[in-house]
Chains A and B, each alone.
Chain A
């Protein structure tokens, strides 16, 4: 019973690990290039969720200065804002890499006429 409570209490870490390996599996074993990029997206969002859930604590509010606390701030009452700021940068980098990857996918389709990786390899080796 104690082990079950431990497992359920850390569910966000188990979910992030599952999404991490799901994205890695898609990037390795899917042959379609757009499916590979969806795997990359899942991979990046699992990392973001991991860091945000590491900064979460119960009975704490948003890291905003309230009107009731007149200058006196108790840091125990607030969530840690440092992972939030770092993950804000990570989201912007994620969409930049996504745009570059999809642009290269369109370029590959215009040259080879297919999105499947094995067919692209066959066309390359037959030349």
Chain B
């Protein structure tokens, strides 16, 4: 089992790493052209340009660059970023915690809320109000991240001035109490987190609602009702437990998509995570930085998928099926 998962995801990962080298280079223009192409940028003299090309090894053949890239991969080193002029590993490690923090919290929040809404909505699915609720949730789920973010930004940050517009913290906040510092970080992360939560809540909600409706019609629920078990206990103990399995797989996939959603949200709120960094790296054709970031993104997404594949049979022995000798 483990071996199977490892070979499958291992080979996918290797293919991704190869694409990671060639795709950026297939885009028109390179880092020098990007610098060249800036409005109000400098005018590079030919000598300056030559020295840059030499320094960044851009005159080396594709083969040589590829060997360098592979060598770097072994040591998890991607070289120096063209635009930041810092080692790529340092830059990624600097930005990664911001993304982990907003994606982590919004995953948890969207799961908790999605499950709660789904359970109760399934419980009341025969009422008219629930239908409206479901339609609203579906509509919300169809909105793109940047639109939701833009609306929240306008309402809470611009008109109400209630939350900060951008950034991850108050710049150079000098405070002795670390409570103020944490509060400041939480306040800056609030809008990005709410945005990511809103857009990802509906898929969990719909799934849980469906599961709930199915479970409710099972005879054991009928029986439990007859025994006179209290409503809350019925919903949280009996129904939730039986609806949890598919949610698990969904959760693993959601985490991956939330990371990609973070690209838009971070750009909108100029939140310094790896999503915003990736956008900048692509625009400036910063190959080493792109290598590093794609590596992190593909590793995270594949890891969660592999984890789901690995854990699911353990949670639900039925899917093991097929091989009866096992």
Mutual binders A and B? no
